[in-house]
Chains A and B, each alone.
Chain A
Amino acid sequence: MKVAITSTGNSLESKLDSRFGRCSFFVIYDTESKSVEFIPNPNKENVEGAGPASVNLIASRDSKKVVSGEFGAKVKSLFDSLQIQLIVLNDEEKTINEIIELLNHNK
């Protein structure tokens, strides 16, 4: 299963980005193959509609969960319709590595 995480940078030491639509990078982590992929967010500078555009990006990668600090108003109903789970983590100090470890521990 794939999990999308919003990240401030493109390394495992980067911290979680608290915004969803305009985060710097998306990390797509595959819990089965343990592969990690960093995708620069093409919607970062969008004036409007960054959230829905990012939803499309994540849905096209077949993620089933999304971890971020905060989700905008337009996003939740879209994710609900796509059956993608949202996870809100109010801890900006968590690194991508720590989140991946949590997810591994879960399995």
Chain B
Amino acid sequence: MARPKRIRKVINPPHFKGYRPLGLPEENNPVILNYEEYESIRLSDFELYGQHEAAQVMEVSRPTYARIYESARRKVAQAFVSGRPIVFEGGKVYFDSEWYSCTGCGCWFNHPSKDQEIKNCPLCGAPDIKQYYEDNDQSAIEDVCVCPKCGKEKKHLPDTPCRKEVCPDCNSFMIRKGGPHHYRNGNKNC
């Protein structure tokens, strides 16, 4: 059995259902674009995120993000070329929204309907609200090789896989920091 898909985080789901080509008779063979694929196009081509950042936002691995994005582009191209409508539907996703805090009454709130901008606190109506940002761990975006034996870290070079890098201190092979192998061995050896 295949490993279950990791659930993807969608920050901004579309607030309409899809697209239809102009000047063609109504056709019932739409291209189904999943929410995660829509989100990948939004992140990569609208927000202009790099694949690393975008993968972090959706809480999937970078290669998985690349697959989602590629599938999204192919579906859009297919719809464009063959003049089929696009319908946003399905996908293994959950929706997320941002948190805000109000300085007037000290409450915290989120804002699920993204098409309207939020200006006032929903509880006391005061306009003194500010958005809450989680501290982004920059090291998580950057690739780092880590030694599973002694824990020494080293910047990852794009051409050499981490498992072929040798630790300068204890001469064992290194692994990617934060990768699946790192989690698996994480508590045993360090």
Contact = CB atoms under 8 A, between A and B. Distances in A.
B110 interface: yes
Given A84-B112, A88-B107, A91-B106, A65 B97 contact: no
B123 A67 contact: yes
B123 A80 contact: no
A87 B95 contact: no
B112 A83 contact: yes
Nearest to B120: A106
Contacts of A83: 112-113
Interface size class of A (residues with CB under 8 A): 20 to 34
Contacts of A84: 112
A96 to B, nearest CB: 13
A106 B124 contact: yes
A76 interface: yes
B120 A85 contact: no
Contact of A80 (B112, B124, B125): B112
Contacts of B124: 102, 105-106
Sort A-B residue pairs by CB-CB distance and give the 4 closest, nearest first.
A106-B125, A88-B108, A77-B94, A80-B95
